Structure 1
């Protein structure tokens, strides 16, 4: 009985994760999905000609840079077997049945939600550089909220 308790006790640490991917990668995938959704919303709003086009374009550029930085942190899967090297399918940019508000107010709310999530994500990762990146992106998103409020 003592052996079982001792063996199970080893799985209780912060670094244990019951998946093929690390907790850091899990957080990264979620952040990338959020970024893709924000980018899709911005692109749709810009294409519709709704809202301050120049501001939306500048903020969209920021999001594309954030996305590239996040993708750059994904682990290299080059040396894994082909069936595992391909990333898992990502969710659609806007979930089916989602009543996404495609307005400046809707984008502002999405930015505010994303900015609020970044510190929680940063606390969940082990890599300090990834934590710093997530917090920096959150600060940028918070700045977007302010700009959308003032200029939108």
Structure 2
């Protein structure tokens, strides 16, 4: 510490003086805490808790189901003669979506989804029609993803995923029998 010609002021002198001015040893400890807190370092902001992996998985599954329902709606709109045949498939996906949403914690349902996982089915943002083979491919991909998704799932979600995956696998076969 450089001096400019007067008495040398050290941190220890400041702490002693502050302690005496506040009223002795107890005050000195409090003042030392106050003065010691003066620094150029700032406290690190609290990091938010990482999202619950189960909630992240549920949000991804919900997004995938919403996209699957959209695919069925687009297929029904583009192929009106198949709309009646496709409706039961779409309704089963709506039921899956409701079951998945029921497992989402209430506080997670109120917050927007910020998922690092990509949904199982990627729907094109365009309004193009979807063919039966496109639906079968989407169902096949969704069904194939279910076993890996059960690895980190709770028992209740794992049971639901296995059931949903079985339904999707049956959809692959049943869609092959739909005739337009």
Q: CA deviation at 1:102?
A: 1.3
TM-score, length-scaled by structure 2: 0.62
Instruction: Give unpaired runs (5+ residues) of structure 2.
Output: 1-47
TM-score, length-scaled by structure 1: 0.72
Question: What's 1:11 paired with?
Answer: none
Q: Deviations over 1:36-92 (max 9, x none)?
A: 1110010011112256322210000000000000011101118xxxxx94223689x
Partner SS for 1:106: helix
Q: CA deviation at 1:140?
A: 0.4
Whether the aligned pair in 1 keeps the contact of 2:132 and 2:175 (CA below 8 Å) is: yes
Q: How many residues align?
A: 127
RMSD: 2.9
Question: What's 2:130 paired with?
Answer: 102
Counterparts of 1:1-152 in structure 2 under 5 Å?
A: 20-50=50-80, 52-77=82-107, 85-88=110-113, 94-96=123-125, 102-125=130-153, 127-152=154-179
Whether the aligned pair in 2 keeps the contact of 1:37 and 1:94 (CA below 8 Å) is: yes
Instruction: Give unpaired runs (5+ residues) of structure 1.
Output: 1-17, 79-83
CA shift in 2, pair 1:19/1:146, >3 Å: farther
Q: CA deviation at 1:129?
A: 0.8
Whether the aligned pair in 1 keeps the contact of 2:68 and 2:123 (CA below 8 Å) is: no
Work out the CA distance in 1 between the residues paired with 2:49 and 2:145: 22
Work out the CA distance in 1 between the residues paired with 2:166 and 2:130: 23
Whether the aligned pair in 2 keeps the contact of 1:35 and 1:63 (CA below 8 Å) is: yes
Work out the CA distance in 1 between the residues paired with 2:106 and 2:73: 29
Whether the aligned pair in 1 keeps the contact of 2:65 and 2:93 (CA below 8 Å) is: yes
Whether the aligned pair in 2 keeps the contact of 1:25 and 1:75 (CA below 8 Å) is: yes
Work out the CA distance in 1 between the residues paired with 2:77 and 2:129: 15
Larger Rg: 2
Whether the aligned pair in 2 keeps the contact of 1:45 and 1:51 (CA below 8 Å) is: no
